[in-house]
Amino acid sequence: MRYSLLGFISCVLAARPFLNEPDTGIDDQLAGFVANDTLPPLDSLVGLPDFQWVGRQHMNTSAYTYYRNGAAGEWSYRNNLEVFARYRLRPRVLRDITNLEATIPTTILGYNFSAPFFISPCARGGYANPDGELGLVKGAAESNILYMPSLYSSKSIEEIYAARPNNSEQVLFQQVYLDGDMNDTQNLFRQIETLGAKAIVMTVDSPGDGIRHRAARYSVGSANSELSLLTWDLYHQLSNMTSLPIIPKGIQTVEDAREAVTQGVKAIFLSNHGGRQVDTSPSSLEVALEIYNEDPEIFKQIEVYADGGVRYGTDVLKLLALGVKAVGLGRPFMYANIYGAEGVARAAEMLKYEVLNDAANLGVPDLKKIGPQYVNWKSADVWGGS
Ligand SMILES: Cc1cc2nc3c(=O)[nH]c(=O)nc-3n(C[C@H](O)[C@H](O)[C@H](O)COP(=O)(O)O)c2cc1C
Ligand SMILES: *[C@@H]1O[C@H](CO)[C@@H](O)[C@H](O)[C@H]1NC(C)=O
Ligand SMILES: *[C@@H]1O[C@H](CO)[C@@H](O)[C@H](O)[C@H]1NC(C)=O
Ligand SMILES: *[C@@H]1O[C@H](CO)[C@@H](O)[C@H](O)[C@H]1NC(C)=O
Ligand SMILES: *[C@@H]1O[C@H](CO)[C@@H](O)[C@H](O)[C@H]1NC(C)=O
Ligand SMILES: *[C@@H]1O[C@H](CO)[C@@H](O)[C@H](O)[C@H]1NC(C)=O
Ligand SMILES: *[C@@H]1O[C@H](CO)[C@@H](O)[C@H](O)[C@H]1NC(C)=O
């Protein structure tokens, strides 16, 4: 009796698995490296989820937990990953895609990059690698993608900017949290300008502490735990203190996207902080869809960036299809940095290859002209056998 009930429960659970690390054979192939505790060679990794697998095997539990965790019951963390599978592609065939590769590079605020994706700001790069963020900044340079260093990095801001291989040539956008003291902020902004960042990314989704149950168990809560004052008034005071554009990161509704346009921002960043801040907040794909449905002009008025749960080429394409200009990834690059710059560059190249080939199979001749018609925006219940 008891066993059959358990059997029934496991069947029900099996019908809707949460695949934090999808089963594509990695455990079978790389078990030997777990047994002898060596880092698998980079060429044995085939996709971005593999870097998380490596992180789980090779980082200590508290360090891994800091990267992996989400807020509360982690429903937003899971939704960020799962949401992409709820919308089916609509591949077109017999299209001339021979010029597609030339259309992969893009501009972000007018700066040239090799791909429409970038490294989102993440604190504490030192948990994956003793060289901290140096691997991220060098890997980004090698693949010519944008990196946004976090203010709460393990390495000092000076060390990070000094690690640019071509020094001032590499474009970086600097993320900030504000401590409420305007003098500190003015000094910080001066330093950011002097170091040569091209934009300031102001995180606006976390005026409160993230309620992170998983992290609390390992005493690795959030890097930013004070209640902080964040208003549009402050945004304007801050804009007065710098010649750099300030990009609000963490927009989660069409109302705030519209308000940002009204307030004169050059770009917004859709994000729920990787599901780490407030649980049941929407994924940026859902926010982009809300903007597309209610005020699609916004995508033309300003640049819109988005992150959260992006792991595959098709995830990038779905966000671009709605009008997003560039897509951020946090955890995949943080885990890839276990291998340093080489791992970060390898992750970027994997994703470029996926974006190119997924777009080809989707029948997109020009990535700049991808549009919402390439996706069926009627949400499919992938778990219900529809
Ligand atoms: C370990 C870690 C640290 C983070 N630190 C910051 C931070 O300092 N500032 C910030 O704006 N966002 C931070 N984030 C959120 C990321 O910028 C980004 O929004 C998120 O990681 C995207 O989701 P993904 O990890 O699924 O790609 C952090 C995320 C992680 C995983
Ligand atoms: C560890 O195991 C892997 C996979 O079996 C093997 O390729 C590698 O050579 C081993 N490394 C060491 C140091 O034993
Ligand atoms: C960006 O690329 C375009 C076209 O390839 C080029 O004309 C332009 O000068 C580049 N801009 C910068 C800032 O390098
Ligand atoms: C885990 O690793 C991090 C980064 O290497 C280190 O700072 C920390 O002390 C380690 N914690 C434990 C419990 O070993
Ligand atoms: C910039 O650095 C990259 C990577 O180190 C290198 O491949 C490239 O040639 C450099 N570019 C210039 C203009 O120095
Ligand atoms: C900020 O600096 C000004 C002058 O540099 C000083 O008068 C003021 O007291 C400072 N404010 C704070 C909060 O430190
Ligand atoms: C910004 O600076 C301008 C010119 O100095 C001033 O008129 C304006 O009031 C300032 N705005 C804010 C919000 O501080």
142 lines ligand 5 (CB under 6 A): yes
Determine, yes or no, domain membership for 115: yes
Report whether pLDDT(7) > 70. Answer: no
The confidence band for 383, taking pLDDT boundaries of 50, 70 and 90, is low
Q: Kindly list the distances between the CA atom of residue 82 and the CA atoms of 6, 17, 62, 77, 285, in Å, as whole numbers in the listed order.
A: 26, 10, 25, 9, 11
Determine, yes or no, domain membership for 275: yes
More confident residue, 166 or 56: 56
Could you give the CA distance from residue 162 to residue 252 in angstroms, rounded to a whole number? 34
How much is the pTM?
0.93
| Token pair recorded at residue 279 | 């649980």
Determine, yes or no, domain membership for 255: yes
Domain of residue 311: give its range.
100-372
Determine, yes or no, domain membership for 93: no
Ligand index nearest the alpha carbon of residue 108: 3
Determine, yes or no, domain membership for 170: yes
- Of 120, 151, 155, give the one whose Cα is nearest residue 135: 155
Out of 61, 62, 131, give the residue to mutate to test ligand 4, the one with the largest number of ligand atoms within 8 Å of its CB. Answer: 62
Q: Is 310 annotated as a binding residue?
A: yes
Determine, yes or no, domain membership for 181: yes
How many angstroms does the Cα of residue 42 sit away from the middle of ligand 2? 13
Determine, yes or no, domain membership for 256: yes
- When divided into structural domains, the chain yields a total of 1
Catalytic residues: 273
Q: Is 132 annotated as a binding residue?
A: no
Q: Which CATH number characterizes residue 136's domain?
A: 3.20.20.70
Out of 30, 38, 58, give the residue to mutate to test ligand 2, the one with the largest number of ligand atoms within 8 Å of its CB. Answer: 38
Determine, yes or no, domain membership for 69: no
pLDDT at 12: 46
pLDDT at 166: 74
Could you tell me the end-to-end alpha-carbon distance of the chain, in angstroms, rounded to an integer?
A: 32
pLDDT at 14: 47
Q: Are 55 and 283 in contact (CB under 8 A)?
A: no
Which tens digits make up the pLDDT trace of 281-318?
999 999 999 999 999 999 999 999 999 999 999 999 99
* Gyration radius (Cα) of the chain, Å: 21
Ligand index nearest the alpha carbon of residue 35: 2
